[in-house]
Amino acid sequence: MDLTKLTLIETIKGLKERQFSEVELNRAYRERMKKLNPSLNVYLWAKENGTEGIPAAIKDIIVTKDISTTAGSKILEGFVPPYNATAVDRLLEKNISVIGKTNCDEFAMGSSGENSAYGPTKNPWDLTKVPGGSSSGSAVAVASDMCVFALGTDTGGSIRQPSSLCGVVGLKPSYGRVSRYGAIAMASSLDQIGPLTKTVADARLVLEWISGKDGYDSNCQNSEFKVQSSELKKDLKGVRVGVPREYFGKGLDEGVEKVVREAIKKLEKLGAEVVEVILPHTEYGIAVYYIVMSSEVSSNLAKFTGIRFGKTRDKFGSEAKRRIMLGTFALSTGYYDDYFAKAAKVRTLIKQDFAKAFQKCDVIVGPVSPTTAWNLGEKVNDPLKMYLSDAYTIPASLAGIPGLSVPCGFSEGLPVGLQILGKYMDEETILDVAESYEQATSWRKVKPKL
Amino acid sequence: MKYEPVIGLEVHVELNTKSKMFCRCFADYFSKEPNTHTCPICLGLPGALPYTNKEAITKCIQIGLALNCKIVDLSRFERKNYFYPDLPKGYQISQYRWPLCVEGWLEVEDKEGNVSKIRINRVHQEEDTGKLTHSDGQTLIDFNRSGVPLVEIVTEPDFTDPSQVKDYAKKLQQIFRYLSVSNADMEKGDMRLEANVSVRPVGQKELPNYRVELKNINSFRFMTAAIEYEIKRQIEALEKGEKLTQETRGWNEDKRETYLQRSKEEAHDYRYFPEPDLPELKMKSEEERVKEEMVELPQAKMQRFVSEYGISKQNAQVLVELKEVGYYFEKAVKLGEAQQIKPQELANYIVNQKITLASQDQVLRAVEFIAAKRVGIIEDEAVIKKIVLEVIKKNPKSVEDYKRGKLNALQALIGGVMRKTQGKVNVEKVMVVLEKKLKSGDTP
Amino acid sequence: MKLNPQQVQKVAKLANIPVSEEEVEKYSDQLSKILDYIDQLNSVDTAGVEPTFNITGLSNVLRDDEVGESLSQEEALKNTSQKKEGFFVTKGVFEEG
């Protein structure tokens, strides 16, 4: 039995039934990691001789006590945090061990993984392609079975998009569902920690572990997420699935559209009622996002001065510098009202779009990314083009609602994810729909040849 | 042309909460080892987030209410962005567009005793920075102070005389101490003053198009001197036809003059925006709760003393100066009732004797003294000496205690003399005799 | 909206980001393009729309005034090489307060 092929739930069961030991489990993952990491560049730090716990990979933007944390940046080279993120602490309580810290775009700023100061992570389905970003290493670690599951962060799509491009399950919880304490802030009003897993059930379990009120994140909601003990409903009878016109317009790759439309048909076959919805302010999502996000970035990255930790400010990569300057400008005297305040108002309209749409449906579905994984280097010199690839993930981030990507097929040999968005704090429904779909299809069983 | 000063004041006061504003570190940083009261939050480490201290907010609102402010319906924390080594996050969590309290006022007196109302623009909550020490071209940083809660009180430019500023600052200090929100010690930096000073021709309605900020001045006296100097300097400059500009100046006490610290060209652009890590504050509904928990303020107490006890305004003013004196005065009044001592008598006694009542003992003594004075009291030293010796003989334990340094012992012995004479004896004389006897060892 | 090289330089100074001449040109070009794109927000009617700064809907999230653990001095200074007698050290700055 190849232990690295097991899901989290299967792994827990196997350990409980003593089919294998934690030592064997850790050895299997370590060997897999040794074999694959040199070509995929997933881990920035990896545990040498772990023998205990269930090995999980943690995005290197989430702080780990006494374990180097770089956020994919040269400016934090050698930084060893004196504390754990709340989510990490909660995993440790569940017998999870940190097998490695995963590569990511510098400070989670990027959609391809190429903005890491430590070199790009490669897509396991085609090593010449990007894995998506910014949780590039976490997505690839799961896709290539180099961990049981991973944690990532999603600010404008950074869990969902690489999950889609690498063919794994990725969940961005509602903003306020999971404590952000210890996730190095990119854009504070948008950042959210979430799981990247081999199955939907695994994502559900990890969410239960890491979510809930925390005395260290004031924006964390006081409500618990619990895995329901009752059997999952196999069909989707009574579920209304909204399909937004705006997510199927110009820019959407034909191959991706075909796969996503097939998936929606499958939902219908499972009993769901498909309704058309509109999200009229979708086209402004990226513009709003780039003002709100970069403004918060400019402030969040001001602490990196090289005095108390890390290196000096000349060590920022070019995307970090670009966003810091854009945000500094948007907040500066004379521009605040036209940029920052204006964007905050349009954000309200985007939020209202979803509220209205959810009067007609229970979940909203569409593509995660307009294309499949693109070639390494293809968009690095055109930041705007790179930004536009997040058009379908950004609006949900701005509205704070939960969203996930579940594998739904392939286009020209590369994975495509189906995005499922839900009402605020209603992860339950999107996980139910995703799991029914997953159980009725076999996409998750197709693995990259490595 | 005649000129008149236009002065506004910004006061920062550090709150005396147990923990810091946004983290659980111990807030009392005074003379502690450097960087021993820090955590990921107040050290601004990557990943850390703020969490607001409720007590600090309550104290900020108390200050606002004491200054007759409105508590706003919706308040927000905001980030004030600038780079300085004492500011670990690269921004200070403060308030700008959405302060907690607005539109208050406080009455002040100038040196001639004229009363005028100073409008308070805002009372807002923020956090302190770390502390820098400069030596040998290096800057040393201690973050123990980083994140200590700070309240800023900003007036409208309503002051027209330095003596008003002094009175205002003293009244604020008194209010802080009454509310027990801060020790308000200027020298320790608990309370910091910044004045904005400019002058305009008498009769001109608009504010001058410049203002000079006076900063880092740590006493009421120096601040008054600095403002006086600045008014003179500015009028002279204008009379010479010079143009005055926005700048920051400090006070050199040796030369007794202000000096330039920063000119307008270096002015900051703080890029304030709502702190995304903290939900909004809706404290209007808490106003009643906070009001109920608030102590009586000096002004109100003074008026009550006048009406309730029939004492003079002058006496009342002295009695309310320190919260403790007013408190014990009222205790003394209660005790005195049994012996038909009038509050006026007590007030006169305390004020004339310049007594600072700070303990229960002193209260008792004051009451006893007045009670004794009214009936035929024993003044004869020989008689007193005799009684004292008797009491000493009967209380060997108290004598022993006294020798071991127990101060209460003296009280017990005085009490003995009082009982023996039914209070009809000059207490001060008793004390003198008693101490002399005890110290000389002239005891059985 | 265009950002000319002078404006880029001003913004870089405000942001405390060291930039080379070459970078100034590059950022001027890239940021101008991004701002041009962002300017489409001007066409959205936001009259009477309240801004969204925080989507949680929470308010008055406050903690009791209780003291917790702090880092030791050693832990606090662990990640810097510039330290002296328990202090962090940086190059001299003038007191400005």
Q: Taking a C-beta distance cutoff of 8 angstroms, is the pair B51, B149 a contact?
A: no
First-residue to last-residue Cα distance in chain C? 36
Residue A450 inside a domain? The answer is no
Instruction: Please tell me which chains touch B, using 3 or more CB pairs under 8 Å as the contact test.
Output: A, C
Work out the pLDDT band at B265, boundaries 50, 70, 90.
Answer: low
- pLDDT for res B435: 83
Which of 331-370 (B) contact C at CB < 8 A?
A: none
Distance from CA of A348 to the nearest CA of C (A): 5
Give the residue numbers of A annotated as catalytic, written as ranges.
59, 134, 158
Task: Write the pLDDT tens digit of every residue in A329-358.
Answer: 999 999 999 999 999 999 999 999 999 999
The tokens of B161 are what? 């005389």
Task: Write the pLDDT tens digit of every residue in A168-197.
Answer: 999 999 999 999 999 999 999 999 999 999
* CB pair distance less than 8 Å for C76 and B143: yes
- pLDDT for res B261: 87
Q: Tell me what percent of the residues of chain A surpass a pLDDT of 70.
A: 100
- Of residues C16, C37, C63, nearest to A215 (C-beta): C63
Instruction: Please tell me which chains touch C, using 3 or more CB pairs under 8 Å as the contact test.
Output: A, B
Task: Write the pLDDT tens digit of every residue in A132-160.
Answer: 999 999 999 999 999 999 999 999 999 99
Rounded distance between C-alpha atoms, residue C41 and residue C63, angstroms: 38
- pLDDT for res B375: 59
ipTM (interface predicted TM): 0.96
pLDDT(B223) > 70: yes
Rounded distance between C-alpha atoms, residue A316 and residue B108, angstroms: 53
Judge whether B143 is closer than 8 Å to chain C, CB to CB: yes
Work out the pLDDT band at B438, boundaries 50, 70, 90.
Answer: confident
The tokens of B194 are what? 């910044």
- pLDDT for res B266: 60
Residue A273 inside a domain? The answer is yes
3-class secondary-structure state, position C45:
coil
Residue B428's Cβ-count burial label (10 Å; 0-12, 13-18, 19+) is exposed
Length of chain A: 450
The bridge status of strand B131-135 relative to strand B138-142 is: antiparallel
CB pairs under 8 A between A and C: 132
What are the Cα distances from residue B299, in Å, to B105, B107, B165, B174?
13, 10, 18, 10
- Of residues C65, C76, C86, nearest to B17 (C-beta): C65
**What is the edge-to-edge ordering of all strands in the sheet holding B131-135?**
B131-135, B138-142, C87-91, C83-84
Please give the residue of chain B at the shortest CA–CA distance from C56.
B279
Residue A381's Cβ-count burial label (10 Å; 0-12, 13-18, 19+) is exposed
Distance from CA of B2 to the nearest CA of A (A): 36
Residue A109 inside a domain? The answer is yes
Task: Write the pLDDT tens digit of every residue in B57-101.
Answer: 999 999 999 999 999 999 999 999 999 999 999 999 999 999 999
Judge whether C90 is closer than 8 Å to chain B, CB to CB: yes
Rounded distance between C-alpha atoms, residue A77 and residue A72, angstroms: 9
- pLDDT for res B373: 66
Which residues of chain C are within 8 Å of residue A78 when distances are taken between CB atoms? 79
**Tokens 């029939």 sit at which residue?**
B310
Q: Taking a C-beta distance cutoff of 8 angstroms, is the pair A121, A103 a contact?
A: yes
- Of residues C69, C76, C91, nearest to B138 (C-beta): C91
**Dihedral Cα A242, A246, A249, A251, nearest 10 deg:** -110
Residue A405 inside a domain? The answer is yes
Of A400, A287, A293, A404, nearest to A351 by C-alpha is: A400
- pLDDT for res A136: 98
CATH for the C5-43 domain, from 2.60.40, 1.10.20, 1.10.287, 3.20.20: 1.10.20
- pLDDT for res B372: 65
Going from the N-terminus, what domains does chain B have, and what CATH number goes with each?
A: 3-291 (no CATH), 303-373 (no CATH), 375-444 (1.10.10.410)
pLDDT(A9) > 60: yes
The tokens of B138 are what? 């290096």
Q: Select from C3, C9, C17 the residue whose CB has the most chain A CBs within 10 Å, as the one to mutate to test that interface.
A: C17
pLDDT(B133) > 50: yes
Instruction: Please tell me which chains touch A, using 3 or more CB pairs under 8 Å as the contact test.
Output: B, C
Q: Tell me what percent of the residues of chain B surpass a pLDDT of 90.
A: 63
pLDDT(C94) > 60: no
Of B311, B199, B217, B297, nearest to B256 by C-alpha is: B217
Task: Write the pLDDT tens digit of every residue in B3-33.
Answer: 999 999 999 999 999 999 999 999 999 999 9
Work out the pLDDT band at A289, boundaries 50, 70, 90.
Answer: very high
What is the number of other CB atoms lying within 10 angstroms of the CB of residue A248? 17
Judge whether B79 is closer than 8 Å to chain A, CB to CB: yes
When the pLDDT of each residue in chain B is averaged and rounded to a whole number, the result is 90
Which residues of chain C are within 8 Å of residue A305 when distances are taken between CB atoms? 16
Q: Taking a C-beta distance cutoff of 8 angstroms, is the pair B196, B155 a contact?
A: no
Please give the residue of chain A at the shortest CA–CA distance from B88.
A303
Q: What is the mean pLDDT of residues B303-322?
A: 91
Q: Select from A333, A347, A397 the residue whose CB has the most chain B CBs within 10 Å, as the one to mutate to test that interface.
A: A333
3-class secondary-structure state, position B371:
helix
Rounded distance between C-alpha atoms, residue B429 and residue A197, angstroms: 89
Residue B260's Cβ-count burial label (10 Å; 0-12, 13-18, 19+) is exposed
Which residues of chain B are within 8 Å of residue C80 when distances are taken between CB atoms? none
Distance from CA of A113 to the nearest CA of B (A): 21
- pLDDT for res B433: 87
Stretch (H or E) spanning A99: strand A96-102
Three-point CA angle A92, A58, A7, nearest 5°: 75
- Of residues A218, A302, A399, nearest to C55 (C-beta): A399
- pLDDT for res A89: 98
Give the amino acid at A150: A
* CB pair distance less than 8 Å for A322 and C82: no
- pLDDT for res B444: 47
Which residues of chain B are within 8 Å of residue A82 when distances are taken between CB atoms? 40, 45
- pLDDT for res C3: 93
Lowest mean pLDDT among B195-199, B332-336, C35-39: B332-336
Rounded distance between C-alpha atoms, residue B183 and residue B13, angstroms: 9
What are the Cα distances from residue B130, in Å, to A314, B5, B88, B134, C87?
24, 34, 8, 13, 11
Judge whether C91 is closer than 8 Å to chain B, CB to CB: yes
pLDDT(C95) > 70: no
Q: What is the mean pLDDT of residues B263-276?
A: 85
- Of residues B81, B272, B279, nearest to A218 (C-beta): B279
Of A393, A330, A298, nearest to C41 by C-alpha is: A330
Please give the residue of chain B at the shortest CA–CA distance from C93.
B139
Q: Select from B94, B96, B271 the residue whose CB has the most chain A CBs within 10 Å, as the one to mutate to test that interface.
A: B271
Give the domain range for residue A352.
3-445
What are the Cα distances from residue A151, in Å, to A31, A134, A154, A168, A373?
21, 12, 10, 13, 21
Which residues of chain A are within 8 Å of residue B51 when distances are taken between CB atoms? 215-218
Q: Select from C14, C55, C60, C82 the residue whose CB has the most chain B CBs within 10 Å, as the one to mutate to test that interface.
A: C60
Domain total in chain A = 1
* CB pair distance less than 8 Å for A341 and C51: yes
Work out the pLDDT band at C96, boundaries 50, 70, 90.
Answer: very low
Task: Write the pLDDT tens digit of every residue in B380-410.
Answer: 788 888 888 888 888 888 888 888 878 778 8
* Count of helices and strands (H, E) across chain C: 3, 3
The domain ranges of chain C are 5-43
Distance from CA of B288 to the nearest CA of C (A): 16
pLDDT(B351) > 50: yes
* CB pair distance less than 8 Å for C56 and A332: no
Q: Taking a C-beta distance cutoff of 8 angstroms, is the pair B303, B338 a contact?
A: no
Gyration radius of chain B's alpha carbons: 27
Rounded distance between C-alpha atoms, residue A129 and residue A376, angstroms: 5
- Of residues B18, B56, B279, nearest to C59 (C-beta): B279
Q: Taking a C-beta distance cutoff of 8 angstroms, is the pair B384, B378 a contact?
A: yes
What are the Cα distances from residue A438, in Å, to A139, A198, A234, A393?
18, 11, 10, 21
Max CA-CA distance within chain C?
Answer: 58
Lowest mean pLDDT among A25-34, B354-363, C68-77: B354-363
The bridge status of strand B91-94 relative to strand B78-81 is: antiparallel
Which of 236-275 (B) contact A at CB < 8 A?
A: 269, 271-273
Give the amino acid at B419: R
Max CA-CA distance within chain B?
Answer: 85
